[in-house]
Amino acid sequence: MPVDTGALRRGCRRAEIVHGRQLCRAELDRFRALAASGTPITIGCTQEAPLFREVAAESAALTFVNLRESAGWSTEAAKAGPKMAALAAAAAEPTPDIPVVHLESAGVILVYGRDERAIEASNLLKEHLDVTTLITRPDELTPPRTTEFPVVKGTIRAAKGHIGAFEIVVDDYAQPLPSSRSALSFAPARDGAMSRCDLLLDLSGGPPLFPASDLRDGYLRADPGDAPAVLKAVLRARDLVGDFDKPRYITFTADLCAHSRSHVVGCRRCLDLCPTGAIAPAGDHVSIDETICAGCGQCAAACPTGAAGYALPPADALMLKLRTLLTTYRDAGGSSPILLFHDEDHGGPLIDALARHGDGLPANVLPLAVNEVTQIGLEAIAAAFAFGAAAVRLMLRAKPRHDLAGLYNTIALAEPILAGLGFSGKPLATIETDDPFSLGEALRTIKPGDIASRPASFRPTGGKRDVLRFALRELYRVAPAPIEIIALPAGAPFGTVEINVEGCTLCLSCVSACPTGALSDDPEQPLLRFAEDACVQCGLCKATCPENVISLEPRLAFDAAITAARVLKQEQPFHCIRCGKPFGVKSTIERVAAKLEGKHWMYRNSSSRLDVIKMCEDCRIAVVTEEGFDPYGAPARPKPRTTDDYLRERKEKPET
């Protein structure tokens, strides 16, 4: 493949560029000498990574990037120099350490099936795992000559857990009778039997026992009629014994969560999106079961406050890689870059196949591998266009493994923002295919629209909400045709709050419910302020308002960060008629007094009692004590009527 070393040097200015024909074979001594120097090395090929690691041992830090399939093996390879420089520079960006979750499996497995095929799978596992076979609604099963593992009958009603900690509930459970002759017969059955196991192999052919079952660690499922699939699941189960570390995909800060306040539910974006059921309400916030979380990242992408953040990598680290990728591409002489987000499991093989058997990727398509495409949030999309991307494409499976509603919501949120800022054409879209040639065709037909005239170069730092705000402000600054306010779809994490001023009593319950401080009051006077930059449109204020006078308007106002908090309603305080101290709201106190005067028994014949309503809390206590108000001086209540009263009245009623 041709290598444009000039473009590589322009893009990777601080690096020494070493070019060879066969550094993994005939020129391996050249690499050995470089590794011995201890200098960090980025290797532009992934095929021989094990060999390079073995040769380098501990003498040098190695980073790998696939320049061959991503750039060099292409009909446009001669123009791919800037892309090679960009990919190499981005690969060299440091990756933060990822915390892990420790899981243990002792090898206790439950094989769940409906016939002899489950027993055959159990026979393959019995030498390696502690096997129990559960047959649902069995017909005739031949009794084994020797009971090498338990075979019982039953139907799984419910299942929960993960590798090393599954719990199942079995109905119609029964053990076989040892006197079974030609076919297994079973003892009387019972419902609600409990079982625990480390692994669960489901060969029942029925619906999966878990949502997004492909993502549940330790749960293996195969069609019992597909022998290769069953064998693959059996071989996989044999390996799932011992200690395992899985990434802790999500970092969660409960204090930032806007789920609920005082049992009133506001935001539930993550709850509605999680495909595995790993998220559950936990009081005023939610809890995320890290042992079940499969790392799709939709909760982090949708979280309006940044309480849930993706850790593989964090938002700021991903945006920093974007910055390096796009700025290096531009510095090396590239133009109209198209950013292609993909995962390694699906996108990596498609890109390789396109390079080996087709035309390869176009020279201006910059592939960026992420753990899950669904982790991409608005902050990454905004940063990509701010850094100069002409288009962004998200590569997905033709048949997704779980619901992609979160990603589609992110796209629906980004589209009006990009259109409102003057990015024409189709700047953002998905490519949903399992065919490499369809991928190549989709990429070659992209027509880049207007791009940022002066691409940004900011370095993102901080939490998700901070980098999101900053990325949007930078996108606005460099946009082709920016406007100040952009209307957004329902559910957007930006917007304003409006109130019906006449109906608002300034009770300030909305202030106490607001999790971000967007709504605030003033200790000196009755008023309600609103800071749009802090609002996440969680809806807690609207759900909490006893007067139902609050409405939400999703929108993005780019001047919100520099605009002072807006006063939604302000009134004069009522001054205590005894000491003059301001307290309460003047209109509210007058309205309450008017409703009580002459109507309630406490205020019918005494103006002094009504005056208490018009006093501050200190004077109210003093007057009640001084004048000896009797709180129990209410008129006698009517005697409760009973059945006897109604019967007596019926007898006393004269006949007509």
Asked if the domains 248-310 and 495-570 are classified in one and the same CATH topology, the answer is yes
Whose structure tokens read 């009603």?
157
How large is the average pLDDT for residues 103-109?
A: 97
Of the pLDDT bands very low, low, confident and very high (cuts 50, 70, 90), residue 606 is low
Tokens of residue 436, six digits: 């490499």
Tokens of residue 137, six digits: 């609604």
Model confidence pLDDT, tens digit, residues 356-377: 999 999 999 999 999 999 999 9
**pLDDT of the residue at 204:** 97
Architecture of domain 248-310: 2-Layer Sandwich (3.30)
Look up the CATH number of domain 102-245.
3.50.50.60
**pLDDT of the residue at 601:** 65
Query: In terms of Cα–Cα distance, which of 536, 552, 555, 553 is closest to 486?
Result: 555
Per-chain mean pLDDT for the chain: 93
Query: In degrees rounded to 5, what are phi and psi of residue 291?
Result: -80, -25
- pTM of the predicted protein model: 0.89
Q: What is the rounded CA–CA span in Å between residue 490 and residue 553?
A: 8
Q: What is the rounded CA–CA span in Å between residue 108 and residue 94?
A: 40
Task: Give, as one character, the DSSP assignment of residue 561.
Answer: G
Q: Is the pLDDT of residue 602 over 80?
A: no
Query: In terms of Cα–Cα distance, which of 489, 465, 72, 85 is closest to 305?
Result: 465
Query: In terms of Cα–Cα distance, which of 541, 495, 499, 550 is closest to 519?
Result: 541
* Cα angle: 194, vertex 223, 169; to 5 degrees: 10
The CATH topology of domain 495-570 is Alpha-Beta Plaits (3.30.70)
Model confidence pLDDT, tens digit, residues 469-490: 999 999 999 999 999 999 999 9
Q: What is the rounded CA–CA span in Å between residue 164 and residue 242?
A: 9
**Domains of the chain: which residue ranges?**
5-96+313-478, 102-245, 248-310, 495-570
The residue type found at 414 is A
Q: What is the rounded CA–CA span in Å between residue 571 and residue 508?
A: 13
Tokens of residue 591, six digits: 């309205």
Least confident segment among 285-294, 341-350, 531-540, 555-564? 555-564
Query: In degrees rounded to 5, what are phi and psi of residue 340?
Result: -115, 105
Strand locations in 414-505 (E): 428-432, 485-487, 495-499
**pLDDT of the residue at 609:** 77
Q: Is the pLDDT of residue 380 over 80?
A: yes
**pLDDT of the residue at 173:** 98
Model confidence pLDDT, tens digit, residues 401-414: 999 999 999 999 99
How large is the average pLDDT for residues 255-261?
A: 95
The residue type found at 108 is V
Q: Is the pLDDT of residue 635 over 70?
A: no
* 162 close to 292: Cβ distance less than 8 angstroms: yes
Of the pLDDT bands very low, low, confident and very high (cuts 50, 70, 90), residue 272 is very high
Q: Is the pLDDT of residue 656 over 70?
A: no
Q: What is the CA radius of gyration of the chain?
A: 34
* 447 close to 425: Cβ distance less than 8 angstroms: yes
Model confidence pLDDT, tens digit, residues 303-353: 999 999 999 999 999 999 999 999 999 999 999 999 999 999 999 999 999
